[in-house]
Structure 1
Amino acid sequence: MLSEHYELIESLMTNFAIAILFLLIGLAIQDVLKKGNVPPIGRFAVWLVLFLGMVGFLAKGIIQFFIERSLG
């Protein structure tokens, strides 16, 4: 049973690990921004870049899902 779903489990765990990594990066950035007295425009720029990176990762996963589904 496990060997039949090994690839799916591996893919899910990889995506989960990357999501946790994004969370940890976000927490580290929040801490640095608070301690560095960064102006609001700088904070906005940093969070925008982090958000766009996360959206790109999610879009890649969704596109990959639909392509793999259509190929078989």
Structure 2
Amino acid sequence: MINGQFEQIEALALNLFFASIFFLIGMSIRDVLKQGKVPAFGRFIVWLVLFLGCAGFVAKGVIQLFWEGSGIG
């Protein structure tokens, strides 16, 4: 297998791994919030923080993609 192909497969696998980790974290947080009977404002704050963490990860990937495409990184 060509080195470039190996790097692409590795990057894809790493991104899928992080997506699955975010999903599992979200499911566990949902379960804890449901069992703890957390008020609506508290649930909103928790989901906001989780969303911002995920959005930061996605933004990092998009920025990295643009930088590599333009030859910067």
What interval of TM-score do these two structures reach, taking the shorter chain for normalisation? over 0.9
Counterpart in 2 of 1:48? 48
What is the aligned-residue identity percentage?
A: 56
CA distance in 2, matches of 1:51, 1:29: 12
- How far 1:20 sits from its partner (Å)? 0.3
Structure 2: unaligned runs, 5 residues or longer: none
CA distance in 1, matches of 2:48, 2:57: 14
- How far 1:21 sits from its partner (Å)? 0.3
- How far 1:36 sits from its partner (Å)? 0.2
Kindly provide the amino acid, as one letter, of the partner of residue 32 in structure 2.
V
- How far 1:2 sits from its partner (Å)? 5.1
Q: Determine which structure has greater relative contact order: mean sequence separation of CA pairs < 8 Å that are 6+ residues apart, divided by chain length.
A: 1
Structure 1 stretches (4+) deviating beyond 6 angstroms? none
Structure 1: unaligned runs, 5 residues or longer: none
Kindly provide the amino acid, as one letter, of the partner of residue 11 in structure 1.
A
CA RMSD of aligned residues (A): 1.3
Relative to the length of structure 1, the TM-score reads 0.94
Counterpart in 1 of 2:26? 26
CA distance in 1, matches of 2:4, 2:68: 17
Alignment of 1:1-72 (within 5 A): 1=1, 3-71=3-71
Deviations 1:10-54 (CA, angstroms, capped at 9, x unpaired): 000000000000000000000000000100000000000000001
Q: How many residues align?
A: 72
